[in-house]
Amino acid sequence: MAGPAPRALAAAAAGLCQLLALAPYEVWWLGPVGAALLTLAVMGARARRAAWLGLLAGAALMVPLIRWQDVFGVDVWLIIAAAEAVYFAPMAVGLAWVARLPGWPVWTAALWVLQEAVRARFPLGGFPWGKLAFAQPDTPFSGYAALGSSPLATFAVALVGALLLAAVLRLARRPRAPLAATAGLAAGALALTAAGSAVPALTAPAVDHTATVAVVQGNVPGVGRMSVLGERAQVLRNHVEAVHRLADRVEAGEEPRPDLVVLPENASDLDAYADPAAAEMIGDAARDIDAPLLFGITRYRSGGSEREVRSVVWDPRKGPVDHYTKRYLVPFGEYIPYRDVFTRYVDRLDHVTSDAVPGTEPGALTLGGTTVATAICFDVAFDRPVRESVAEGGQIIAVPTNNANYNFTGQSEQQLAITRLRAVEHGRPAVVAATSGISAVVTAGGEVTYRSPEARPAVHVAELQAMSGLTPATRLGALPEAALCALALGALAAAGVAARRAKRNPAGGTSAG
């Protein structure tokens, strides 16, 4: 592609295609198109130009994708978006390099996995939002998540895009050549897409039993996490009263009695371990429904300067018997990294008066005879928490969340899409319990069978199949991601060797596929 303007247009279009592939737009087939357009934009470009094109593509994706971050300030939104866009610059340079190698569609797809792997880990624990895989919760590509988690789904999306690009380029450069090779590339892309549809059926775990699960969305009196004691108490009342209303419907024969009840993250920001009144309210609700509750409770420690974000198993007779502590925390929202430094320059960070501390153990919690793989809110964006909870015996996935800051911004739809992919990945149905929406029930195939309204109370009871056995993705863990990252690094090394040889022998030339 000659000229800076067409390259810039293709790069911007690449980012916008990825944006529109993701929730809430969900034009999933634009995922491969976006990956192809970015490769097209940087083919034959020098490193500096490729980096700027990658940055442009990343900005076109990230700035609108995480618009909901502006609840913390426009500066926070734009700084985070800029930081995420930066990851696309070195990837674009790598795409330009490996596009000169034979078999470049494979190497370009592996580079997408490498970029997402780094972005999901660094800095401050990572921010994997906007993965190619997350646009594929219930599509032909979602099946690859059941084989190798989100990295393999990303690889498949990018590879299909690259194969289609290779077919178009071959046809454009050699229009009179035999069509067999071009048709083979296109057929390979179509076969790869179609094959993903068959994977979930081939890897599906067995049904162990059927569990009756209730999801409670109590709603909040305002927007966001509650900082005023009266509002915290009201949030707790909203959720326990919703459980009491469900108990009344059960007694009236309008609903089946649930085996377990899932409530949101921060359903009680009052520490029910230390607050007898809060504990009594939760205990009364559990006794009324006569079922264990999975209740979101904030547990304070160290004199209130630190806290744990927990989902607590509250037994009707024994009270709190087990819990899971959130493992992936939102920087600057749930804790302030390098607090002494940042609060010196940003006054509003002082409003986060205590720092959440992460848990370390998987969230396999047993309630009413069913083991629930629990991942709280931000956890679900990372491969590890759900995978380890399922591997520890989780039969149904539960995602308690507090998205009250983000109602009607698209963030809740994005998180739901990730949960849907996790359901397919591990062959488990999933429930999402949100303070003010979106709460949902998802089948093991990624289909949404119930979705609550936003900013309104809601209760739903569903019969879910509790599963036993593990998908290949659960068994293999991080190995597919590691293998694909190694493949990308090997391709970059090979591209470097080829470039040095080309410099020593300029007459030899290189090929762009």
Q: Any catalytic annotation for residue 265? A: yes
Residue 270 in contact with residue 298, Cβ under 8 Å?
Answer: yes
The residue among 344 and 177 whose pLDDT is bigger is 344
pLDDT the model gives residue 342? 79
Q: In the predicted model, is pLDDT for residue 496 greater than 90?
A: yes
- How far lies 270's CA from each of 220, 296, 382, in Å? 14, 10, 28
Residue pair 213/396 in contact (Cβ under 8 Å)? The answer is yes
Identify the helix (H) or strand (E) that includes residue 383.
Answer: helix 383-391
Structure tokens at 463: 């019969």
d(CA 407, CA 99): 42
Q: Assign 3-class secondary structure to 40-95.
A: HHHCCCCHHHHHHHHHHHHHHHHHHHCHHHHHHCHHHHHHHHHHHHHCHHHHHHHH
Average pLDDT over residues 295-312: 92
Q: Are strands 293-301 and 260-262 parallel, antiparallel or unpaired?
A: parallel
Q: Is residue 173 predicted with pLDDT exceeding 90?
A: no
Helix, strand, coil percent content, the chain, rounded in steps of 5: 55, 15, 30
pLDDT over threshold 60, residue 228: no
Task: Using the predicted structure, report yes or no on whether residue 508 has a pLDDT greater than 80.
Answer: no
Residue 421: pLDDT band (50, 70, 90) is very high
For the segment 472-490, the average pLDDT, to the nearest whole number, is: 98
Q: Are strands 370-374 and 396-401 parallel, antiparallel or unpaired?
A: parallel
User: In the predicted model, what is the mean pLDDT of residues 197-209?
Assistant: 90
Residue 225 pLDDT greater than 70, yes or no: no
> Which segment of 53-57, 324-328, 332-336, 427-431 scores lowest on mean pLDDT?
332-336
| Confidence grade of residue 230 (pLDDT, cut at 50, 70, 90) | low
User: How far, in Å, CA of 92 to CA of 34, rounded?
Assistant: 13
Residue of 78, 89, 81 lying closest to 38 (CA atoms) = 89
For the segment 41-55, the average pLDDT, to the nearest whole number, is: 97
Q: Which of 131, 377, 425, 485 is catalytic?
A: 377
Residue 1's Cβ-count burial label (10 Å; 0-12, 13-18, 19+) is: middle
> Catalytic annotation on 377?
yes
Euclidean distance between CA atoms 9 and 190, whole angstroms = 27
Which pLDDT belongs to residue 243? 98
- Residue 317: pLDDT above 60? yes
Q: Which pLDDT score, from 0 to 100, does residue 510 have?
A: 45
pLDDT of 511 reads 45
Sign of torsion, CA 275 277 283 285? Answer: negative
Mean pLDDT lowest among 132-136, 207-211, 303-307, 415-419: 303-307
Q: What average pLDDT does this structure show over 141-170? A: 97
Given the DSSP bridges, would you call strands 364-367 and 319-325 parallel, antiparallel or unpaired?
unpaired
Give the pLDDT of residue 415: 98
pLDDT of the residue at 177: 64
Q: Contact at 8 Å (CB) between 329 and 125?
A: yes
Whole-model pTM: value is 0.94
Give the Cα separation of 253 and 461 in Å (integer).
13
| Phi and psi angles of residue 335, each rounded to the nearest 5 degrees, phi first | -155, 160
Task: Examine the pLDDT at 19 and tell me if it is beyond 70.
Answer: yes
The number of angstroms, rounded, from the C-alpha of 458 to the middle of its chain's C-alpha atoms is 24
pLDDT at residue 370 greater than cutoff 90? yes
Is 388 an annotated catalytic residue?
no
In whole numbers, what is the pLDDT of the chain averaged over residues? 93
Distance CA 261, CA 367 (A): 9
- Phi, psi of 253, rounded to the nearest 5 degrees: 80, 10
* Cα-based angle 315, 320, 323 (whole degrees, multiple of 5): 110
Q: Which is higher by pLDDT, 104 or 172? A: 104
Which candidate in 17, 84, 116, 326 is catalytic? 326
pLDDT digits (tens, 9 = 90+) for 235-294: 999 999 999 999 999 999 999 999 999 999 999 999 999 999 999 999 999 999 999 999
pLDDT in tens, 62-101: 999 999 988 878 988 999 999 999 999 999 999 999 999 9
Token reading at 66: 């995480």
Q: Which two tokens stand for residue 87?
A: 């990851």
- Over residues 475-494, mean pLDDT: 98
Tell me the average pLDDT across 413-433: 98
pLDDT tier, 178 (very low <50, low <70, confident <90, very high otherwise) = low
Output the pLDDT for position 222.
65
pLDDT for 224: 46
Question: By mean pLDDT, which of 223-237, 280-294, 458-472 is the weakest?
Answer: 223-237
Give the helix/strand (H/E) hosting 311. Answer: strand 306-315
Mean pLDDT of the 473-495 span: 98
Q: What is the Cα–Cα distance from 251 to 288, expressed in whole angstroms?
A: 10
* Contacting residues for 35 by C-beta, under 8 A, at least 6 apart: 14, 18, 108, 109, 112, 132, 157, 158, 161, 162
Percent above pLDDT 90 for the chain: 81
